[in-house]
Amino acid sequence: MNNHLKTLEEESIYILREVAAQFERPALLFSGGKDSITLVHLARKAFFPAKFPFPLVHIDTGHNFEETIVFRDWLVNKVGAQLIVGSVQDSIDQKKVAEETGKYASRNALQTVTLLDTIERNKFDACIGGARRDEEKARAKERIFSVRDDFGQWDPKRQRPEIWHHLNGMINFGENVRVFPISNWTELDVWSYIKQENMDLPSIYFTHKRNVFERDGLIFPASPYINMDGEDIFETDVRFRTVGDMSCTAAVLSTADNVDDIITEIKASTISERGARFDDKRSEAAMEKRKLAGYF
């Protein structure tokens, strides 16, 4: 096995076992993206031959790629996990959040409210997420065990020091912890690992023909969830590099139909992974602001 992937894997397994040991009601936040799929794979390894001792939680924006939902249900069945779905539509119906309006309306930011609601309802004390530090500069400052207050907020100035391998998951009543076992992985590491472990992925990561339109130099999937502004729709070969809410995830022109080609493509790419995410382009501190509010 590749040496540095082995090092990363051992570290992630160690972290996942710490979560199971230190918390009473942990959960794994599953988006259907490659990072959370990698987490599920690592969790299976960490507790083998037992099943991993936490449910999968999906925050459903209602604006998903259908392929991701199909994949989610297939995977849940395959690994025999419990699935809990938190619905953004429910939060809207309960008037806890209001749908954004205008050309750039997206449900991505609304997820935070549904997430915090789901955490509270299920009394989760730790939520495992697939965020990586290489994704974004505010995430580069994130701890592996990230303590959130009663309101789910991140306070970057009051982060606990994380020294050596010691992870301190002690919390007071009402607080909870976000855990990021693949903090130290890069996008390329995740893809190399997917290849090495021969992991299954949703089909939208690979090339397919799709109706798309261009906006601000990025290519978006044509869908009823996006407020079109008279842009022209055309069909072309695309794939997705990151999978989020349909309204904020741009596609890349690509004919890569296998993991090797994707790795070659990423190595040669001159834009970063989150360069295709519209939610991060809103301002220089977009991610930091969302994290302060409880985003993962």
Partner 1 sequence: MELLKFSTAGSVDDGKSTLIGRLLYDTNSLTTDQIQAVEAASKRKGFDYLDLSLLTDGLSAEREQGITIDVAHIYFNTDKRKFIIADTPGHVEYTRNMVTGSSNSQLSIILIDARKGVIEQTHRHFFIANLLQIPEVIVCVNKMDLVDYSEDTFNNIRIEFEEFVRGFDRLHQNLTFIPASSLKGDNIVNKGESMDWYNGPTLLEYLENVQVNQDVNITDARFPVQYVIRPQSEEYHDYRGYAGNVASGKFNVGDEVVAFPSGLTSKIKQITTFDGNLETAEAKQSVTLLLEDEIDITRGNLIAKAGNGPRVEKEFTAQLCWMDTTASIPGGKYIIQHSNNRVKAMLKDVEFIVNTSTLEKDTERKQLKLNDIAQVQIKTAQPLFFDSYEQNKVNGSFIIIDEGTKSTVAAGVIL
Give me the residues that bind partner 1 (CB under 8 A), please.
2-4, 7-10, 13-14, 17-18, 20-21, 44-51, 133-134, 136-141, 156-157, 159-166, 168, 170-172, 183-184, 186, 188-189, 269-272, 275, 284-285, 288
User: Which residues lie across from 179 on neighbouring strands?
Assistant: 128, 145
Q: Which is nearer to partner 1, 69 or 199 (CB)?
A: 199
Tell me how far, at minimum, the Cβ of 106 lies from partner 1, in Å.
19
Tell me how far, at minimum, the Cβ of 115 lies from partner 1, in Å.
22
Tell me how far, at minimum, the Cβ of 141 lies from partner 1, in Å.
5
Q: Which is nearer to partner 1, 58 or 139 (CB)?
A: 139
Q: Which is nearer to partner 1, 99 or 175 (CB)?
A: 175
Closest listed residue to residue 46, CA positions, set 71, 79, 82, 87: 79
Tell me how far, at minimum, the Cβ of 135 lies from partner 1, in Å.
10
Long-range pairs, 234-238, Cβ under 8 A, ≥24: 235/209, 235/210, 235/211, 236/209, 236/210, 236/212, 237/207, 237/208, 237/209, 238/207, 238/208, 238/210, 238/212
Per the listing, tokens 């994380």 go with 162
Q: Which is nearer to partner 1, 200 or 284 (CB)?
A: 284
Tell me how far, at minimum, the Cβ of 36 lies from partner 1, in Å.
18
Query: How far is CA 94 from each of CA 19, 85, 113, 117, 294, rounded to the nearest angstrom?
Result: 32, 16, 12, 12, 20
